[in-house]
Amino acid sequence: MQPKTLYFFYIFFFLPLNPALAFDTDYDGYIKTGSQYIFDSPSLHKDFDSDLQIHLGLDGNVLKKNKWALDYEIETDASYVDGPSEQSKLRPETDFGLHRAWLRLSNDSLQFRGGRQEILFGDGVIFQPLGLFDTRDVSGVIPQAHGVDSVRATWFSSDVSLLETWLVPAKKGTALISGIRADLLLGEIATGVVFQYHPKSDLDDFSGYDQEMVQVGYHLKGEHEVGFWNESRLDVEIQPSSPLQFDTVLGVDYTFEIGKGLHVLTEYFFSTRQQEFSLSDLKGQRTYHQIGFLFDQPIDIDIKWQIFSLYDFRDRSFQIVPQVEYSITDDLFLYLHGKVGGNINGNKSNGRLYQRTNSFSGTESSIGLTLTNFF
């Protein structure tokens, strides 16, 4: 028998019998289709924006031996879009995405993960200053973040602390984005600090991708009658070594004993992109003051409503995104959703949160239905 034949015979017949190996695969996903009517759609644009998305996830274990385990996760989707968001190039007509594809080696206190993965930490819900690699749309029917190609190592030093580091190819020569964070539970307060070196990169999905800078931040979260959290980040440009941007968010939430529980969450977001960190930004071009609200409440076991809203203090633009979720079966959900955008000044059509131009911006008012089947 040839050596190559012996090798494949071993792989397919003897390797699965090895007790250290634990090949298994689980899958999940969803099929989502929907359409929304766009009020006052720009000229030469369609009135309905429709999409179809198929999302598939695979995960499982490869091996387990001497307290070590090797597991994996893969998530991918394909989508088709028709309507003004495709006409205005906000979304491609057809798209295929690989959002997760990683291997993880771990034991009780260590984890090593490599591949396309989500790097997400911090406590902000609507605004996320520490979302260094975050691309989620939190107002969407199914919020989804894209992964980033990286390697990550995590040490759980105790039940209440961890230390983590990561490397992300900057896709510009051999440059690497490198970071480290530490989390610690102090009594009932969860705290953490973050440090990252960011060279110039070609990762244009993320803000500041073309600047060399150092990013430092912190977060904390606790609860005393109400939940509260604070998360901040400072970006310092390497040359000429001056502050570049400061972001911070303050948030609180509380569940009122109304009906089956009315959950109310609010966050205030401040961001400045000037060296002095001054509020004297007369044109409002470098300083952001925004507040966000999230209300949600189950009506019964099958129905839940929520309202997501944003308001900009500088230009007085706003967005209100209501949604009703109806569970037809355990796996099939119908969403009635809408969007109302505008400006309190009335005579202004453009702002950070609402824009009305000759091209579709995605901030226009709309109403629609989405059907999602999970499996």
Q: What's this model's pTM, rounded to 2 decimal places?
A: 0.84
Assigned token pair, 208: 């500041």
Token readout for 114 is 């490599």
Inter-residue contact 211 to 237 (CB < 8 Å): yes
Burial-class residue 306 by CB neighbours within 10 Å (0-12, 13-18, 19+): middle
Amino acid letter for position 146: H
- Check residue 10 and give its pLDDT: 44
pLDDT over 90, % of the chain: 64
Specify the pLDDT at position 39. 93
Render pLDDT for 92-128 as a digit per residue (tens, 0 to 9).
999 999 999 999 999 999 999 999 999 988 999 999 9
**pLDDT score for 238:** 83
- HSE-up (13 A, CA, CB side) for residue 316: 7
Weakly modelled stretches of the chain, pLDDT under 70 = 1-22, 137-139, 204-209, 240-243, 274-285, 346-349
**Phi first, then psi: what are they for 46, rounded to 5°?**
-70, 160
Question: 324 — phi, psi (to 5°)?
Answer: -120, 125
Report pLDDT for 284. 52
pLDDT at 208: 63
User: According to the model, what pLDDT value does residue 202 have?
Assistant: 77
Instruction: Please give the pLDDT value at position 240.
Output: 65
User: Contacts for 161-166 with beta carbons within 8 Å, 24 or more apart?
Assistant: 161/185, 166/119
Beta bridge partners of 368: 36, 337
Average pLDDT, the chain: 87
The vertex-173 CA angle with 170 and 176, nearest 5°, equals 35
Whole-number pLDDT of residue 15:
47
